[in-house]
Amino acid sequence: MRELLNIAEKDALVLLRDKGALIVMLAMPLALIFILGSALGGIGQGDSLDIRVAIVNQDEGDVGDRLVQGFIASEESGAIFDIDVRDDAEQVRADIERGDLTGALVIPRDLTEMIQAGQPVALKVLRDPGSKVSAGIWSDVVRAGAAHVSAQIITMRVLEQWYTDPGSRGRIRGGAPTQAVTPAVPASEGAPKVTLDTVTVMEIETRVEKQVSMISYYAAGMTGMFLLFGSMFGAFSFAKERREQTLARMLSTPASKVAVVGGKAAGVLVVGVGQFVVLVGGTRVLFGVDWGRDVLGVAIVGLAETLAAAGLAMTLAAVAKSERAIGAIAPGVIMFLAATGGSMIPSGQLPSFLQPVQVISPVYWTVDGLLDLMRGASTTDVLPGVGAVLLIAVALFAFGTWRLKYE
């Protein structure tokens, strides 16, 4: 154990003396957080032309299906909205509260029945109050669609009455009526009154306890990405010592291979913990980022990814035999894990074929957990994601240790 700690201390000190490494791990993420958070402050808050909305059709009749198809088939709405048809209204509401959706339309269960009975019925529009422009566009489009449906209902009822009640028909010549259609029963005698208000829209603004700003989003995203860069420098150290035969001399001492590997991984872990503390504290002081009330949860999420970074260092050292090879492979691997993990854009906006890959990225679970904590989640809420990161760390450690060459 003593040998392991000595090796960890030595590696950590060597890495901390490397000014280039410190710039990459500390200065660069802080600069990117400021630039991206300031320049892209409007992106991801719903005010774009790819507005993510959902439709929940609970109607047991066919009117709801026709309404859904009308929205989906419209080229105009397709150019503005990314429409997702869902079944669970409560889940949709939760997604709006998290900022994953800008708005939603909930079609009631009795829509067809109420329309057939000539009774007023309301469609529910859920809106994200943090995206007033985009949510307002969605609400106006739904209102226009409701008015269109109401007009069709009126037309169908008038035609149905005209065909079924001989007293309301005009004399037809050449396929056109020669007199106005009049109702068979005066409205005062109980005929149902049909107006454009047959289908109305009831707007509901969801209550969102806390919105995450873009600078806060990128604080989580860049922290998740640059924690992995510590693994690259840890792998550099391993490859350098292997090339200079320092590693062989360490193995000739009473220190075991487990102590050597564990010490070098622990060195990466110590540096990663320090890096995480500096980034969290720095973004809070410089940019006012609120990481949430649960400090323990933030610490656990950060520690889990530093363990994954240490495991990745062992894997990179095992796969790449030289510093040059590590320099060629590591940035690409880290950028891929970061891009699919949501460091650059929200993970939900990635193409559908990339989204299944997210689960293998420790950045995905880390960023997701940090954002949840910013919104007010507790340590218990983020433990499943922490468990996923720890599984990835164990897999990386196991593979790296198995493949590692010591000579």
Q: Looking at residue 379, what is its pLDDT?
A: 93
**Residue 279 in contact with residue 226, Cβ under 8 Å?**
yes
CATH number of the domain located at residue range(s) 51-205 in this protein: 3.40.1710
- In one-letter notation, the amino acid at residue 299 is A
Which class for 352: exposed (0-12), middle (13-18), buried (19 or more C-beta within 10 A)? Answer: exposed
Question: Tens digit of pLDDT for each residue in 253-277?
Answer: 665 666 666 677 787 788 888 889 9
Strand order in the sheet with 51-57: 81-86, 51-57, 103-107, 121-127, 199-205
- Alpha carbons 187 and 77: distance in angstroms, whole number: 38
- Alpha carbons 320 and 340: distance in angstroms, whole number: 23
Question: Tens digit of pLDDT for each residue in 13-51?
Answer: 766 666 766 676 777 788 888 787 666 554 444 334 568
317, 343, 276, 322: which is closest to 401 by C-alpha?
317
Question: Tens digit of pLDDT for each residue in 125-154?
Answer: 888 876 777 777 888 888 877 777 767 666
- Alpha carbons 387 and 155: distance in angstroms, whole number: 59
Question: Tens digit of pLDDT for each residue in 151-178?
Answer: 766 676 666 666 666 555 554 444 444 4
Where in the chain do CATH 3.40.1710 domains reside? 51-205
